Amino acid sequence: MTQSFKKLVLMSALLAALVVSLGAYTRLSNAGLGCPDWPGCYGFLTVPNEAHELVSAQQQFPGSEVHQEKAWIEMIHRYFAGSLGLVVAAIFFVALRQPNYGASVRGLSTLLVVLIVFQALLGMWTVTMNLQPLIVMGHLLGGFTILSLLTLLWLRASQSATVVIPHVTGLKVMTLAVLTVLVLQIALGGWLAANYAAPHCRGLPLCENGELFSLSSLFQLPHSSASYEFGVLPFETRLSIHLVHRIWAMVTLIAILALCWRLYVRIPDTRVRPVILLPAILVLCQVLLGGAIVHWQFPLLLTLFHNVMAALLLLSMVRVCYLLFYQSRG
């Protein structure tokens, strides 16, 4: 593969990481409805600022008030997301015109285009359905999926040296199982954020009102509402969502540490030891960061970093999967 294609894929992966971070900041700063329409903002391609633009916005959306800061946060996220879509489209056309790149690269490029289109629809529905939690969570998972696939595509394009790993089948199964545990934890975090459940569980290691925990309430979906901003589920349900997220975080911690230990013991190649140890380091930092967020009462920047760390942890696990499924020979 050409160096220009590799650079294009790397740029797209970095851009996807930025888009995921901007999406988290948009959600955490309560700017998801900063623009009540899509893809523009109050009928404009930028945030209305002039007097005649504000009058037009008020006429088109009489029930909304233009909040400049929130609207710009939302539009900046959309600008970068749109740019990512164009870059992914460029990757697709380049891969399509180069049959020597291999079926896996062309397949990943095609899948990314499909996901980008679906992600754009989820972005539209997030606004038009007024932050419906299932849509918001799906939008978050879609961003993480696109970032993971772009990272995998970059790893495939880089074509690193192979590693000898004896009896790798059991390790592959265990790695996929641990990856599934991590994805479930990220989904729980997305469900927690979509229902604004973070402040409903205070205290460490359990909630101060832990006696309100109800397993049955976890299956309660939000009722129909004109707007889901700031959440509509009962306090008990949101507390339960948060507490389950914490409990599953411990499951994720143990699973990743066990996997990294087994890989460290089974793979003697010192070249890949940093790849093996990175998920263990990141998951420990993520758990400590979660505790710090609760202790300091959910500061925005620290919570944003928690989202970014989740993405980094997922990418580190994608790198481990690539090591076992694509690099290993033995």
Residues involved in catalysis: 74
Q: What contacts 24+ positions apart, CB below 8 Å, involve 204-209? A: 204/291, 204/294, 204/295, 205/246, 205/291, 206/243, 206/246, 207/239, 207/242, 207/243, 209/239
Burial class from Cβ neighbours inside 10 Å (0-12, 13-18, 19+) for residue 276 reads buried
Given phi > 0 = left and psi -120 to 50 = alpha, else beta, which region is 216?
Answer: alpha
DSSP 249-276: HHHHHHHHHHHHHHHHHH---GGGHHHH
> Within its chain, how far is the Cα of 200 from the centroid?
22
Distance between CA 97 and CA 77 in Å, rounded? 31
